Chain A
Amino acid sequence: MSEKNEKDWPLWEVFYQPNNGKPYEHAGSLHAADAENALQNARDAYARRNEGIGIWVVPSNQITASTPEDMGPFFDPASDKPYRHPQFYSVPRAVKKRS
């Protein structure tokens, strides 16, 4: 493990904000020696074509991700709560047409 870490610079996840007011999106990952290096590399690797107006870089090992086993307990309960979604509610036809 440490042997591997020695050979590669640490891995970072890159997020960018495509436009003003939009949420940040995951772009991909890259290797960098430190945060500043990661930020600059992210600009060169993932924002060469004006893809974003803001960049976040996060050390990959700092991300805690759900596992496939979490899928049931995490997400299934949400699927039987239709009242959280706007489609659950009916709107008079006349209003629908106007919008």
Chain B
Amino acid sequence: METQQQLDNFQARIDAGEKIEPKDWMPDRYRQQIIRMGSQHAHSEIVGMLPEGNWIGRAPSLKRKLVLLAKVQDEAGHGLYLYSAIETLGVSRADLIDQYLYGSAKYSSIFNYPTLSYADVCVIGWLVDGAAIVNQTKLAQSSYGPYSRANIRICREESFHKKQGYEMVAKLASGTPAQRKMVQDAVNRFWWPTLMMFGPSDSDSPNSAELIKWKVKLNTNDELRQHFIDRTVMEAEAVNITLPDPDLKFNQETGHWDYGDIPWDEFWDVVQGNGVMNRERMKARREAHENGAWVRKAAQAYARKKKLSREQAS
């Protein structure tokens, strides 16, 4: 059982800004929250490969093909760093993957939207990766050591993702009429779902308070969302993109941009599994996993055989 003394000592370490390492004592609930949040983060990176991967084959220049492929590859890498971080808590990756492919573990809903044009992947780079950076920069300071370190590594790589996206958005926005139309349409579709990426409003976010108390998260969903909006409004203006929110207005008193009502009904719908691509995404991931089973088994069998023959030889 966890004693109050243990809990107090733990909280004191957190408050002192110490990092918690895998073998340190931690409340069971803390462990569970790290596993829940971290694996959800990892699953998101992996499912996140699909909407952008959709355009690798069609990228409009060899340079853009290489950039996109490298970016989607990075996402696999990020998933790997995150799974590794969570595995330090004694859960296996196989179990984590089972939980999202066949169980109830979630991933970020943004990836349940389809990429209809090449501009979508550019806008994903700008907005979705931009939002992810806001989140991950904070998570890099998270109290759980391995999770914090994974996020530091991710942040180092992620800034290229956003930059290439924004560069391409700028190019499209000053391009041919067709390119301008394409990119504005993509922004119109991705703006609100991007804002939803920060999670429900603080009042509707059951885990927030606890996560902040333990410094797993450092800011509330609404704070991060506001930070993202403030930054993005300027970036949109700079390249003549209109953000699809007539209520966006600078508030002199707060020094922040006020924004309109986020369509939370849509958010909860998609979270429940009712988005355009939810089923397709899960199907694609399950197929990859199941079609790969024989490969994974073969490598294990081969390693066993080799080990055995080495042992017999010595």
Contacts and interface: CB of A to CB of B under 8 A. Distances in A.
Interface of A: 4, 6-9, 11, 28-31, 33-34, 37, 45, 48-49, 65, 67-68
A33 B300 contact: yes
A7 B92 contact: yes
Given A33-B299, A34-B302, A65-B23, A28 B150 contact: yes
For chain B, give the interface size range.
20 to 34
A65 to B, nearest CB: 7
Given A9-B299, A33-B303, A68-B25, A28 B81 contact: yes
Contacts of B27: none
Closest 8 CB pairs of A and B: A33-B299, A7-B94, A34-B303, A29-B84, A8-B94, A33-B303, A4-B92, A8-B92
Given A4-B92, A9-B296, A28-B153, 15 more contacts: A6-B300, A7-B92, A8-B94, A9-B299, A29-B87, A33-B296, A34-B299, A34-B303, A37-B299, A37-B303, A45-B80, A49-B157, A68-B21, A68-B24, A68-B25
Interface in B161-183: none
Contacts of A28: 80-81, 84-85, 149-150, 153
B77 interface: yes
Interface of B: 21, 23-25, 73-74, 77, 80-81, 84-85, 87, 92-95, 149-150, 153, 157, 296, 299-300, 302-303, 306
Contacts of B77: 45, 48
A57 B310 CA distance: 19
